[in-house]
Amino acid sequence: MSKAQTINPANGQTVAEYERIAISKAMEKVAMAKEAYNSWKEKSFAERSQLMHALADLFDASKEEYAELATTEMGKTIVQARKEIEKCAWVCRFYADNSESLLGKEMVGTEATKSYVTFQPMGVILAVMPWNFPFYQVIRFAAPALMAGNTGVLKHASNVQGSAFALEDAFIKAGFPKGIFTNLNIEANNVKDVIEDKNIAAVTLTGSDPAGRSVATIAGANLKKTVLELGGSDAYIVLDDADLEKATDLATLGRLQNNGQTCIAAKRFVVLDAVYDKFLELFTQKMRRAKMGDPMDESTYYGPMARLDLRDEIHGQVVKTIAQGGRLILGGTIPEGKGAYYPATILVDVQPGMEAFDNELFGPVASVIRATDENEAIALANNSQFGLGSGVITSNRERGEKVALQLEAGSSFVNRLVASDPRLPFGGIKNSGYGRELSGYGIREFVNIKSIWVD
Tell the burial category of 44 from Cβ atoms under 10 Å away from its Cβ (0-12, 13-18, 19+).
exposed
260 binds ligand NAP (CB under 6 A): no
User: Minimum CB separation from ligand NAP for residue 155, in Å?
Assistant: 6
Residues 360-399 interacting with ligand NAP (rule: CB under 6 A): 360, 362, 388
Tell me whether residue 224 or residue 286 sits nearer to ligand NAP (CB atom): 224
- Residue ranges of E strands in 139-254: 151-155, 181-183, 200-206, 225-229, 234-238
Q: Using CA atoms, how far apart are residues 72 and 87, in angstroms rounded to an integer?
A: 19
Half-sphere exposure for 289 (CA within 13 Å, toward CB): 10
211 binds ligand NAP (CB under 6 A): yes
User: Minimum CB separation from ligand NAP for residue 303, in Å?
Assistant: 16
| 251 touches 366 (CB < 8 A) | yes
* Helix 273-289 vs helix 244-256: crossing angle, to nearest 10: 50
Helices assigned H by DSSP within 237-387:
244-256, 273-289, 308-323, 355-358, 374-382
Instruction: Name the CA radius of gyration of the chain, rounded.
Output: 22
Q: Which of 87, 120, 146 is nearest to 422 (CA)?
A: 87
197 binds ligand NAP (CB under 6 A): no
230 binds ligand NAP (CB under 6 A): yes
Among residues 50, 115, 118, 208, which is the contact residue for ligand NAP, using CB under 6 A? Answer: 208
Count the residues of the shown chain that bind ligand NAP, applying the rule CB under 6 A. 28
What does the per-residue mask of binding to ligand NAP show for 422-441, with x meaning CB under 6 A?
A: ------x----x--------
188 binds ligand NAP (CB under 6 A): yes
Among residues 26, 103, 143, 157, which is the contact residue for ligand NAP, using CB under 6 A? Answer: 157
201 binds ligand NAP (CB under 6 A): no
Half-sphere exposure for 158 (CA within 13 Å, toward CB): 16
Size of the chain in residues: 455
User: Minimum CB separation from ligand NAP for residue 338, in Å?
Assistant: 22
DSSP-assigned letters across all residues of 12-68: --EEEEEEPPPHHHHHHHHHHHHHHHHHHTTS-HHHHHHHHHHHHHHHHHTHHHHHH
Of 10-18, 152-160, 323-331, 443-451, the segment contacting ligand NAP by CB under 6 A is 152-160
Of 7-15, 67-75, 150-158, 320-328, the segment contacting ligand NAP by CB under 6 A is 150-158
Q: Using CA atoms, how far apart are residues 38 and 25, in angstroms rounded to an integer?
A: 20
Amino acid at 250: L
191 binds ligand NAP (CB under 6 A): yes
User: Minimum CB separation from ligand NAP for residue 297, in Å?
Assistant: 25
- Examine the residue annotation and report whether 88 is marked as an active-site residue of this protein: no
Q: What angle do CA 399, 402, 407 make, to 5 degrees?
A: 125
- Examine the residue annotation and report whether 73 is marked as an active-site residue of this protein: no
263 binds ligand NAP (CB under 6 A): yes
340 binds ligand NAP (CB under 6 A): no
207 binds ligand NAP (CB under 6 A): yes
| 198 touches 170 (CB < 8 A) | no
Residues 273-302 interacting with ligand NAP (rule: CB under 6 A): none
Neighbouring C-beta atoms of residue 70, cutoff 10 Å: 27
User: Minimum CB separation from ligand NAP for residue 209, in Å?
Assistant: 7
User: Minimum CB separation from ligand NAP for residue 159, in Å?
Assistant: 6
User: Minimum CB separation from ligand NAP for residue 428, in Å?
Assistant: 6
Catalytic center residues: 229, 263
Judged by the rule CB under 6 A, the positions of this chain that interact with ligand NAP are 128-132, 137, 155-158, 188, 191, 206-208, 211, 214-215, 229-232, 263, 360, 362, 388, 428, 433
